[in-house]
Amino acid sequence: MVRNAATRRNSFVYVVAALAALNGLLFGFDTGVISGAMLYIRRTFDMATILGYSVDPAYVEGVIVSGAMIGAMIGAAIGGRVADRLGRRRLILVGAVIFFVGSLIMAIAPTTEILIVGRIVDGIGVGFASVVGPLYISEIAPPKIRGSLVSLNQLTITSGILIAYLVNYAFSANGEWRWMLGLGMVPAAVLFVGMLFMPESPRWLYEQGRESDAREVLSKTRVESQVEDELREIKETIRTETGTLRDLFQPWVRPMLVVGIGLAVFQQVTGINTVMYYAPTILEATAFNDIASILATVGIGAVNVAMTVVAVLLIDRTGRRPLLLAGLGGMTVMLAILGIVFYLPGLSGALGWIAAGCLMLYVACFAIGLGPVFWLMISEIYPMEVRGTAMGVVTVLNWAGNLIVSLTFLGLVDAIGQSGTFWLYGLFSLFALVFCYQLVPETKGRSLEEIEADLRETAIGRGVDDDQAGPAKTDD
Ligand code: BGC
């Protein structure tokens, strides 16, 4: 009986996490779908005019592609704060509606201008989703399996990318880009309906003074003996008011702000999205033809998913740091080799295959380390009072990095060649390795409250004033 009840609670937490991880699917689908759709959008609209003005079509294409990232930056900037104020669950619901509306606008867009509006709206939904997915799961998960559960969100990001590649392929025969983009409505609708039945984060509820609601959620997701302990821990850590942007710069939070920002920026400047967006273009420079390049791209998407599964299985056993460091080491080596391969003249035959193999291994190393670990760590390392706000800030920087790297990639290849570009990303990857080795803490198996207490103690150890180092403990 007792065992059955415990198993039921455990499965409920998996259901909640899996459903919330649909946030990642919206994110990934949006990332993967546009390159395929763009090929056909070009044929539908006159890309040389915007609002009656003549413009360079390449510029318009750039705006259509990057519109979603700009939207995502706006969404992440607002989303973190709103999640702290209105709650995690409500933000997921709003994000799903926005994403749904954005996909609908794109699917029926009669003009380029409206398509761009749809991309930005869609992006705002993605921005919300990218902050609140990991945040919500991390606050509802039991510490022992928190790594795996939060990483489900990265698994759905990678699955979303792969599904989008396959959708592009399926609709490419007739060039039906409206279907490609409109299909995003499906996961958004499932997420919205599913979330109506899911509970709010117990930690956020407690912070709002709703102790009995928090207890109720914990009793649905924990074995009975853990409920009161966890509630006590939350009670000891939480302040009643939510933090502001300024609170992120308090001396005791600052080190983790640096860690979050570093991880956010390194996750992008090591080049992952050049592969996600431009793999066929990269491979066409080798002896691969169009079809082989597209198939190899699907292969890369599949490796990304498969290795994320490995990360989900390992992350609570090995811990975050070993995966992060091993992944970064592998990425650095692969980028160095890719630079050499593209440096050699007459890239053909065997070298083409080596390049494709190295790209896959590079993606595999990202998928096991920096991919999931970034989103996981930023949901773990911040104190409750500023968690949403802090995640919002670092997520905006992650999207900004994404935007800059994807906009500069082709120009960079023109200027310093493919080999130079890979070496540059390799150099960033090496910096990232040193940065993570020195600064990123291990959070495996610890409750969010223990992580927060460690942060406070480290700060006190560094001589930061006791009352500046986080909330005063309340006695029971
Ligand atoms: C990154 C995305 C990237 C994806 C690839 C995510 O963790 O934030 O920018 O497209 O991984 O798997």
d(CA 212, CA 192): 25
Residue 5 pLDDT: 62
* pLDDT at res. 346: 65
What DSSP line would sit under 232-254, residue for residue?
HHHHHH--SSPP-GGGGGSTTTH
> Which of 143, 167, 198 delimits the end of a domain?
198
Is 233 part of a structural domain of the chain?
A: no
Query: What CATH number corresponds to the domain at position 341?
Result: 1.20.1250.20
Final residue in a domain of this structure, among 198, 231, 261: 198
Residue reference for tokens 């409109």: 182
Position 320, amino acid: R
- The reply to whether 213 falls in a domain is no
Alpha carbon of 273 to ligand 1 centroid (Å): 7
Same domain, 283 and 422: yes
Nearest protein CA to atom 10 of ligand 1, as residue? 273
Same domain, yes or no: 304 and 186: no
Mutation to probe ligand 1, out of 65, 69, 272 (largest number of atoms < 8 A from CB): 272
CA nearest to 452, candidates 466, 429, 440, 469:
469
Instruction: Point out which residues pair with 50 in neighbouring strands.
Output: 53
Claim to verify: residue 258 and residue 192 sit in the same structural domain: no
Domain that holds residue 12: 1-198
Q: How far apart are CA 473 and CA 460, in angstroms?
A: 14
Nearest CA to ligand 1 atom 6: 371
Claim to verify: residue 320 and residue 189 sit in the same structural domain: no
- Considering only CA atoms, which residue is closest to atom 11 of ligand 1? 371
Residue 6 has a pLDDT of: 60
Q: Is residue 398 part of a domain?
A: yes
Both 142 and 248 in one domain: the answer is no
For residues 262 and 184, state if they share a domain.
Answer: no
Cβ–Cβ < 8 Å for 253, 385:
no
Boundary of a domain, candidates 170, 198, 226: 198
Ligand 1 closest atom vs CA 398: 8
For the chain, the residue count is: 476
Cβ < 6 A, ligand 1 pocket = 31, 154, 157-158, 161, 267, 272-273, 276, 304, 371, 375, 398, 402
Give CA 373 to chain center in angstroms.
10
The verdict on 120 and 248 lying in the same domain is: no
Residue 472 within a domain: no
Residue 361 CA to residue 368 CA, distance in Å, equals 11
Q: How far is the CA of 367 from the centre of ligand 1 (A)?
A: 9
Whether 322 and 190 map to the same domain: the answer is no
Q: What is the C-alpha to C-alpha distance for residues 14 and 152, in angstroms, rounded to an integer?
A: 10
Separation of CA 74 and ligand 1 centre (Å): 18
d(CA 416, CA 413): 5
- Confidence (pLDDT) at 344: 83
The pLDDT assigned to 239 comes to: 62
Measured in Å, residue 157 CA sits from the centre of ligand 1 at 7
Residues 41 and 97 in one domain: yes
- Adjacent-strand bridge partners of 53: 50
Q: How many domains does the chain have?
A: 2
Q: In this structure, is residue 337 part of a structural domain? A: yes
- Assigned domain for 102 exists: yes
133 Cα to the center of ligand 1, angstroms = 14
Retrieve residue 155's tokens: 């698994």
Query: What is the pLDDT tens value at each position of the chain, 476 positions in all?
Result: 455 666 666 789 999 999 999 999 999 999 899 888 888 898 899 888 888 889 898 888 889 989 999 999 999 999 988 998 899 999 999 999 999 999 999 999 999 999 999 999 999 999 999 999 999 999 999 999 999 999 999 999 999 999 998 988 888 788 899 999 999 999 999 999 999 999 999 999 998 999 999 999 999 999 888 899 899 988 887 765 566 788 888 888 999 999 999 999 999 999 999 998 887 777 776 666 666 777 778 899 999 999 999 999 999 999 999 999 999 999 999 999 999 988 887 666 677 788 889 999 999 999 999 999 999 999 999 998 899 999 999 999 999 999 999 999 989 999 999 999 999 999 999 999 999 999 999 999 999 999 999 988 888 888 776 556 655 444 33
Pair 252, 155 in one domain: no
Q: Following CA atoms 19, 303, 26, 141 in sequence, which dihedral angle do they give, to the nearest 10 degrees?
A: 30
Residue of 69, 273, 377, 398 best suited for mutating to test ligand 1, as the one with most atoms within 8 Å of CB: 273
Which of these, 21, 71, 275, 22, lies nearest to 165 by C-alpha position? 275
Spatial separation of the C-alpha atoms in residues 333 and 337, rounded to whole Å:
6
> d(Cα 33, Cα 102) in Å, to the nearest integer?
14
Measured distance CA(159)–CA(156) in Å, rounded: 5
Q: How far apart are CA 230 and CA 199, in angstroms?
A: 17
Distance 303 CA to ligand 1 centre (A): 13
Whose alpha carbon is nearest atom 8 of ligand 1? 371
299 and 358 share a domain? yes
Burial of 78 per CB tally in 10 Å (0-12, 13-18, 19+): middle
Helices within 21-111 (DSSP H only) = 22-44, 57-86, 88-108
User: Atom of ligand 1 at shortest distance to CA of 31?
Assistant: 10
pLDDT of residue 472: 44
**219, part of any domain:** no
Can you tell me the distance from the alpha carbon of 243 to that of 339, in angstroms, rounded to the nearest whole number?
Answer: 45
Helix (H, G, I), strand (E, B) or coil at 193: helix
Would you give the DSSP letter of residue 468? Answer: T
Closest-CA residue to 364 (of 65, 158, 66, 64): 158
Question: Among the atoms of ligand 1, which is closest to the Cα of residue 130?
Answer: 8
Claim to verify: residue 29 and residue 163 sit in the same structural domain: yes
Asked whether residue 223 is domain-assigned, the answer is no
